[in-house]
Amino acid sequence: MTPTPLRSIASKLPAGMLYGGDYNPEQWPEAVWSEDVRLMREAGVNLVSVAIFSWAKLEPRPGDYDFGWLDRVIDLLWTEKISVCLATATASPPAWLSRAHPESLPVDVNGTRLSPGSRQHYCPNSRAYRAGGRRLIGELARRYAAHPAVALWHVNNEIGCHTHECFCEVCAADFRTWLRARYDTLEELNESWGTAFWSQAYGEWAEILPPRKMPTFRNPGQVLDYARFMSDALCDLLAGEVAAIRLVAPEAKVTTNGMVFHRPADYHRWYREVDIAAWDSYPDPAGGIDEVQAAAFTHDLFRGLRGGQPFMLMEQATTQVNWRATNALKPPGQMRAISFAAVARGADAVMFFQWRAARAGAEKFHSAMVPHFGTEGSRVFREVCALGAELKKLTGVCGARVPARVALLVSWENRWALEVESKPMAFDYAAMIRSYYGALWDLNVAVDVVHPDAPLEAYAVVVAPALYQLTRGQAESLRAFAQRGGALVMSYFSGVVDEREHIWLGGSPGLLQDVLGLAVEEWQPLPAGESNALVVAGRTEPVACKIFCELLHLRGAEALATYAHGFFAGRAAITTHRFGAGEAIYVATEPDRTWLTTLMSDVLERHGVKAPVVAAPGVEAVVRVGEGMEFLFLINHRAELAMVELGEWSGRDLVSDQACTGTLSLEPYGVRVISRARDREVSAVPRLPQASAV
Ligand code: GAL
């Protein structure tokens, strides 16, 4: 497994961990800029993202560019060798563009055209918006691509965050074009959408519209295709901006910042378009371990988007955000712990939104590296400086990989399909995944979050929660995986439909019935607050289960647990089935998390997957493997002391420079990065996705 420092991908990036944030100098008089740069040095900042929302300042009137201020900012930053991640500045079109091209404004599902005056007020398919953006990007690239400070390009900003779909006439026409490319004939489309139902058949392409507000349930095939189309349209916008940079600067390296498992954006596809994966992480500081796990899941997801190479934590808050109903602050140490948790899972950049807290606008109550209070005596700035100094000690970690023997299968396609309306219940795919991810996190077992089409050879255990949409290829891959000796863990409502939203007849999990040794005939969704219970072999106390209970016909599988209540009491709920040299476990309900963790622990043990150390609850333990060295990250996410049994692990903590061995006591929010020479080869080599032509 070859380490891949970000610098080997984008050679103008500074050496070591990247540290900094969004810098919006246009919000401040120039006199403040020199203080900014001085304070950045003090804080250890080596990279800032500039011009994200600067279109109106860079092009105050159509075609009338003003780059003088940006020249001065970038030159000033470079006097202190602070590098720039230069934005394409397209995240918020200027007022003149919306005025000249009202059709560039997005239209919601009810047909209402949205107003300018906030941000992201553009239809992703708008020709005027795209063309205006490309012109500006061309100018920026001509002027700055060769500047020594400009190390990376920040394409747009959180594409699809607020405006992730549009239902205007331009989108309607583009949707029809997209459909014609997907389906050769209208007959094929009618068959795929199942339009021999409610008189929905189409006789002309022109009859097809986006799935706008309708009297009742929309056609599931139409809704699913629109989700695919909009994700593709947003991705095309991203690819178009990348192409506009590379037209002028073919060697330019690019990234774009994604969001936490963002529903509308198929990042598996999007991140083929850029060189480095990056995302913005805003766990609720008051949300406890659940929030920590949600962030960890997304770190693992983003690491997987570029074949396991390091990613960037592009934004986080030093303390409060301003967009929750109640915006909890981060107590001393928590920001550091959360930052190290990102690095543990493969981030080689720790960046913030934003450098200096704004004094006006809708984000003036959002925290920053430099608070309104000033830096003198500021707790927040002190922690910012301390983190910058500590990250410098982790230079040797840069590029190190996170080897995992467990794969968690996740796809946007599956999410869109599962969450289309008119199902047995309203499913929450992210929550269904997080039960399993959370169990693995609690067990401190490294996980690769990968697409169900990904190669599975490197893994001992594959977990497929709610793999509702199952293609033939995916079924074959999972069958081969179990056949070879792997453990497949699959949860309820899996293998129900194909990629067209057509039911696999004969009972789920459809094409995998033989692998799991069972078929599902019926299901009972449980309303919130209601539960059933599981009678588990070898255990006296029943285990609560909730959300969904499937009724199984066993065809070779053995019951590990049965239902306790209802007319199906005594019927199998959790099963195992030997298949080839491996086994397939089926979990037909949502068991209590603690017990699910026990179940997963047994499976992992049977298949030789172990945690690196034994740690108290709330302590995250992750290993990164570099060239001849490996690094054990320990992070205590709780505000209380926590013990860790290091067992065979011993080495030097890069943060405190102390030797660590035996039993370790981690202070509240404490972190360690214990390094030691590596004497073993790591076999897992995830494949890098191919960039598509732009
Ligand atoms: C992000 C966005 C930033 C800022 C931040 C506030 O979604 O990219 O521009 O708005 O949230 O938390």
Q: Give yes or no for residue 20 having a pLDDT over 60.
A: yes
Paired tokens of 12: 């103008």
Q: Where are the domains of the chain?
A: 6-168+234-396, 173-221, 406-445+461-606, 614-677
Of the candidates 53, 480, 479, 412, the one whose C-alpha atom is nearest the C-alpha of residue 265 is 412
List the Cα angle 667/670/675 in 5-degree steps: 120
The crossing angle, in degrees rounded to 10, of helices 412-419 and 429-442 is 130
Strands 619-625 and 572-579: unpaired
pLDDT digits (tens, 9 = 90+) for 509-559: 999 999 999 999 999 999 999 999 999 988 999 999 999 999 999 999 999
- Report the alpha-carbon distance of residue 150 to residue 47 in Å, rounded: 9
Q: Which residues contact 213 (CB under 8 A, 6 or more apart)?
A: 109, 110, 111
Nearest ligand 1 atom to the CA of 257 is 8
pLDDT of 103 over the 90 cut: yes
Reply yes or no on whether the pLDDT at 268 is more than 70. Answer: yes
8 A C-beta contact, residue 128 and residue 170: no
Q: DSSP 3-state assignment of 419?
A: helix
390 — pLDDT class (breaks 50, 70, 90): very high
412 CA to centre of ligand 1 in angstroms: 23
Of 3.30.360.10, 3.30.465.10, 2.60.40.1180, 1.10.150.20, the CATH number of 614-677 is: 2.60.40.1180
Q: What is the pLDDT of residue 681?
A: 57
Structure confidence at residue 680 as a pLDDT band (50, 70, 90): low
| Number of neighbours of residue 288 by Cβ within 10 angstroms | 13
Mutate to test the pocket of ligand 1, among 353, 354, 363, 364 (most ligand atoms within 8 A of CB): 353
Do β-strands 83-87 and 150-154 pair in parallel, antiparallel, or remain unpaired?
Answer: parallel
pLDDT at residue 682 above 90?
no
Q: How confident is the model at residue 3 (pLDDT cuts 50, 70, 90)?
A: confident
User: CA-CA distance, 418 to 415, in Å (whole number)?
Assistant: 5
Report how far apart the first and last C-alpha atoms of the chain are (Å, whole number): 29
Q: How far apart are CA 611 and CA 372, in angstroms?
A: 43
Residue for token digits 């060295």? 629
> What CATH code is assigned to 6-168+234-396?
3.20.20.80
Q: What is the mean pLDDT of residues 441-449?
A: 98
Is-contact 45 388, C-beta < 8 A?
yes
pLDDT the model gives residue 686: 46
Peptide bond into 509 cis (omega under 30): yes
Q: Is 621 helix (H, G, I), strand (E, B) or coil?
A: strand
Q: Is there a shared CATH topology between the 6-168+234-396 domain and the 614-677 domain?
A: no
Six-digit token string for 162: 């607020």
Distance, CA of 543 to CA of 462 (rounded, Å) = 24
- Contact 662/646 with Cβ under 8 angstroms? yes
pLDDT in tens, 283-324: 999 999 999 999 999 999 999 999 999 999 999 999 999 999
pLDDT tens figures, 484-509 = 999 999 999 999 999 999 999 999 99
CA 158 to ligand 1: nearest atom: 8
Q: What is the mean pLDDT of the chain?
A: 96
As for ligand 1, residues whose beta carbon falls within 6 Å of it are: 157-158, 161, 280, 282, 315, 321, 353, 363, 366
Pocket test for ligand 1, best of 50, 335, 363, 369 (most atoms within 8 A of CB): 363
Determine the atom of ligand 1 nearest the C-alpha atom of 53. 9
Which fold would CATH assign to domain 406-445+461-606? Rossmann fold (3.40.50)
Ligand 1 pocket test: pick from 53, 92, 315, 324 the residue with the most ligand atoms within 8 Å of its Cβ.
315
374-401 mean pLDDT: 98
Residues with active-site annotation: 158, 315
3-class state of residue 457 by DSSP: coil
Query: What integer is the mean pLDDT of 612-628?
Result: 97
CA distances from 407 to 124, 255, 605, 683 (A): 33, 25, 15, 15
Other Cβ atoms closer than 10 A to 647: 14
Name the β-bridge partners of 513.
Answer: none
Distance 353 CA to ligand 1 centre (A): 6
Q: Tell me how far apart the alpha carbons of residues 354 and 369 are, in angstroms, rounded to a whole number.
A: 6
- Look at residues 585, 589, 576, 421 and name the one whose alpha carbon lies nearest to residue 492: 589
**In the predicted structure, residue 641 carries a pLDDT above the cut 70:** yes
Confidence of residue 652 (pLDDT cuts 50, 70, 90): very high
Which helix (H) or strand (E) segment is 409 a member of?
strand 406-409
Quick one: tokens of 680?
Answer: 């073993």
Per-residue pLDDT of 116-171, as tens digits, reads 999 999 999 999 999 999 999 999 999 999 999 999 999 999 999 999 999 999 99
Q: What is the pLDDT of residue 694?
A: 30
Kindly give the distance from the C-alpha atom of residue 649 to the centroid of ligand 1, in angstroms, as a whole number. Answer: 39
Confidence of residue 460 (pLDDT cuts 50, 70, 90): very high
Contact between 620 and 634 under an 8 Å Cβ cutoff? The reply is yes
Give dist(CA 667, CA 93) in Å, integer: 47
pLDDT on residue 679: 75
CA separation for the pair 14, 83 (Å, rounded): 7
pLDDT-above-90 percentage for the chain: 97
3-state SS, 7-60, equals HHHCCCCCCCCEEEEEECHHHCCHHHHHHHHHHHHHHCCCEEEECCCCHHHHCC
435-453 burial code (b ≥16 CB/10 A, e <16): bbbbbbbbbbbbbbbbbbe
